[in-house]
Structures are given as C-alpha cells and as structure tokens.
Structure 1
C-alpha cells in the first residue's frame, strides 16, 4: 500500500515536472526551427537550423547587452543585500524610539508602484549625470523594501542567546554579524539572492526609460526589438531569449544547494 502511494506521488511529480519544463523546451526547439516551421506543433524541428542564432548576434550587440544585464543584476543585488543585512541586523539587535512606526512606514512604501516614483527617479539621475548609462539603471534600485523585510523576519528568528553570549565574550557587533549571524543565514541569503537577481534581470520598464542605445541597454530591451508592428521575428526572438536565460541558469546552479537547504529548514520548522 505504501509503495503504491509512493508510485502515485512520483507520477504526479513527474507530470508537474514535465509541465514546468515544457515551456523552456518549446522555447529552445522554436529557436532551432525555420520561419516556415515556427508555428508547427512538432516537438522536434524537421529541419534543424542555427540561422536564428546567427541573425540574433548580427542584428544587435547581444554579448554587450548580456554583460550589461549581468552587471546590473549583480551590482543591484549586491547593494540590496548589503542594505538589507545592515537594516535587518540593526532592527533585530537594538530597540529605539519609533522603531515600530519606522518599520510600518517602510512596509507601506512596498505598496507604492514603480510608476509613482519613476519621474522623481528620472529627475534625480539626470541631476547625477548618469542618465543613459548602466549606473542610471542600477542606482535607483540599490535598496529593496522586500529584501529588508524578508531578512528582518529571518534575523528576528535568530536565537537571542547567541547575541548575549557573544557580547559577554567581548565580541564587537560587527564580528557578531560577520562571524556568527551571516554564516548561519547563508541559505536564506542565497534564496533571497536568486529572487533579487531574477527580479533585476527581468526588469523592463525602468531600463527602457533610461537606456538610450542598445549598447547601454540590458538584454530585455534587445528582445523587444524582434517584435514590432511591421514584422515579428519569432525564431530569432526565441534564440535570443534562450541565450538570455543561460546566466540565470548558471546562477541557480551555483545557489541551488543553499536554496534547497532553506526550503528544507523552513519545512522542518
């Protein structure tokens, strides 16, 4: 009876896994199809071609845009993590006046849509002289309210006895954070990192407003160039999209162990 239940559970997992992977598979095989076959329902292209990839590289500076996306995602995520770690530790360790009010006000700002602050941000980066550059995309996103709240909840669950023991031993607050808290929060920070990286990687509206040339744009702006009112180059779009997914896959492979550890620990709790 137990074995039968296990078989049924595995069958359900296999079905859902196939459904999850199929869109990615369809994207890849569509990038290998010719224009005449792109709308067919064949699961494998009858005439395998790499012309879509060569056209994508010839049409736009794909490598440069990929490097821009990697730079934007890494620097934005790093800034968000540093600010979130310092915020979470400060709010966890110290009690001060209006602490609850400040946290509430910060939480409320999470509800403000990007469109409401785009004009002030645009004016600010113009004054800083970084409009039309990669830094113009990065700077307004260096602080993430989501990351602050996420890490605060995790830091707040950290055993307070360890803080007190470290302070009795004469360890400074900085060493407590670096040597005690962060090593135990590695899975949580890794899981948050992949969320922030994907969010920054897929951002489109703000980079479109700031970018002036393809050479200073992330890959998401370049993908839109394959779709227009005149013609839709679906094969080349699928090829460029496949290439744009590779860095995200690499990031997930590097961090997947830490992410799985986070899910397991959350499930045990």
Structure 2
C-alpha cells in the first residue's frame, strides 16, 4: 500500500537515475581491460617459469664448443651431450631406481594419508583434534631435526646405501593427511551413513564409496608427491652415498673441482625432467579437475 501524505504536506516523487546504454558499454570495456591485464601478468609469470627450462634444453642441444654461448637459439643442433651423458652414467638403471623410489614414496604417502584422512574426517574419537594438530605440527618440523634420528635408525636396520633406506622414512606425509582429510570431509555424509546401514565395513566403505569420489584429488596429490620425491636430493645423497644410485646423484658425475661439464650435465638434467612431464601430460585432466574441486569446496 502507498502511504498517504499527511494533511498540509506535499508528496514529492523522486525519479530513479536513468541508465544509459553507454554505462553498460563502459563497464564491459573496464572488465575487458582488467581481464587483459590479468592475462598479461600471468603470461609474464609463465614466461619467467619457462625460460630456465628452455635454457636447460637449449644448452644440452648445443655443440660441445658452443656450450658457453649466450645465443638464444642453439644452432647447429647437436646430440653430443646426450651421447656423452648416456655413456658416462648407467642412465637406464638411474631412471629405474629413481622411478621406483619416487613411486613407492608417493604411493606410501597416498595410502597413509588416505587412511588417516578418512579416520579424521569420518569418525569421532577421543583426542581427535590433538592428534590432528600433532600431524600438522610434524609438517612444521624442519627435516634437519629428524635427519640424524632417521639415519641412526636406518643404520641399525642395516638399510643404509639402499633405495629402501630412502623410502622407509618418507612413507608418511603430513601434507597428504591434511589435504585428504579436507577432501574426505567434502564427501556427502549421507553416502557414508547409507553404506554403514547397508552393512558395509569401514574398509569396504573407504574403497567403494570414498575413493571413487576422490579420483581427481588423489591424482593431483599423487603427482605432487611424486614430483617432490623425484626432485629430492639431500636425503638420497645422505643415505646412498654413491653417484650410481639415482638420477639426482648421477648429476654429480659431471661436477668436479676443476669445473663442471655443462653439456652432459644439462643433458642428464633434461632427461631427469622428462618422466615428470610425461606423467603430468597423462594425468593433466584429472589434476586440473582436482584443483578446481578444491577451490569450489
């Protein structure tokens, strides 16, 4: 109902400001300009990330006499550095050892993270928050603090100078527990209740209900854990103590007190990057989907 004016007063109508078609055009142009600026900034950041990788492969493809050249494009192209690197180290063995090491560490961290994340998200028990904070706290402890106790334990177990000695202390990751707990909590609680009412055990519910809903998240986290393990240098160097064990230590074969052999060194580093790149290309769709779902939760 429209209120009537009081006696002796006048009613003044205030017209709403008119929106001209030009206002919408101006707003559209501003949004396009902001989007263009954002794309330019992202493009520059992407270029800054790509340049070191490009220079690595460019150096590895130069002729031995042109290794120190600052030319942007390597010409003439030469595979001499790859031939020398392949002959200097046992490349197939290094690739196999490194892949087994990284895959076992990533799978172990995924499994322990999935079990712990499922327990923290789907169940309620005493001291739950305290235990979860303990997991988070281990993420904040520097590696140098646990390095000596782990080394002493491996020495007592007799696993020094073995790939197993690198894998065993890294089978649990606080990052995996934190991320998978968050993803398990995004699974509808009704699905878990329906599975329990259907008579499924906790183990069966995990593998038939929870895991199928976490495919993209597991793929994205698995690649992240695999890359971290693949790039690890300090712990394998401390445990294995030889250059013929994994690729990261094989790089030291081309580093000496009199100078570095940059051509084979860059060739070996380039071969080290290829498995990770291929893994990302294979799982790219799932990785992107996993990060998108993480942002929409």
Aligned to 2:70: 41
Q: How many angstroms does 1:10 deviate by?
A: 4.7
Q: Which of the pair has more CA radius of gyration? A: 2
Which digits, 9 at most, give the CA deviation of each residue in 1:22-81, with x for residues without a partner? Answer: 222111111011343223221222232111111111212122111111000001111111
Q: Considering only aligned residues, what root-mean-square deviation do their CA atoms show, in Å?
A: 1.9
- 1:80 aligns to 2:109 (yes or no): yes
Partner secondary structure for residue 68 of structure 2: coil
Using structure 1 for the length normalisation, give the TM-score: 0.92
Residue 217 (structure 2) aligns with: 188
* Match of residue 248 from structure 1: 276
2:293 to 242, 262, 265: 265
> C-alpha deviations, 1:91-115, integer Å up to 9, x for none?
1122111111111122112122111
Residue 21 (structure 2) aligns with: none
> Deviation per CA, 1:212-260, whole angstroms, max 9, x where unpaired?
4333x21111113322221211111110000011110111112211111
Contact 2:220–2:286 under 8 Å retained in 1: yes
**Correspondence list, 1:189-208, <5 A:** 189-208=218-237
Q: Match for residue 68 of structure 1?
A: 97
Instruction: Name the CA shift for 1:97/1:172 in 2 (closer, same or farther; >3 Å).
Output: same
Matched, 1:223 2:214: no
SS of residue matched to 2:196: helix
Which stretch of structure 1 is more off in the superposition, 62-71 or 11-20? 11-20
Aligned residue in 2 for 1:58: 87
Q: Choose which of 91, 95, 119 in structure 1 pairs with 2:148.
A: 119
* 2:161 equivalent to 1:132: yes
Q: Quick check: 1:108 aligned with 2:137?
A: yes
SS of corresponding position for 1:122:
helix
**Corresponding residue to 1:238 among 259, 266, 276:** 266
Conserved? CA contact 1:65–1:214, under 8 Å: no
CA distance in 2, matches of 1:267, 1:110: 22
- Which residue number in structure 2 is paired with residue 163 of structure 1? 192
Give the unaligned 5+ runs of structure 2: 1-27
Query: How far 1:9 moved relative to its partner?
Result: 5.2
> Match of 1:251, SS?
helix
Structure 2 equivalent of residue 89 of structure 1: 118
SS of the residue 1:49 aligns to: coil
Relative contact order: is structure 1 or structure 2 higher (C-alpha 8 Å, sep ≥ 6)? 1
- Cα separation, partners in 2 of 1:115 and 1:16, compared to 1, 3 Å: closer
Distance in 1 (CA, whole Å) between partners of 2:197 and 2:63 is: 70
Structure 1's unaligned 5+ residue stretches are none
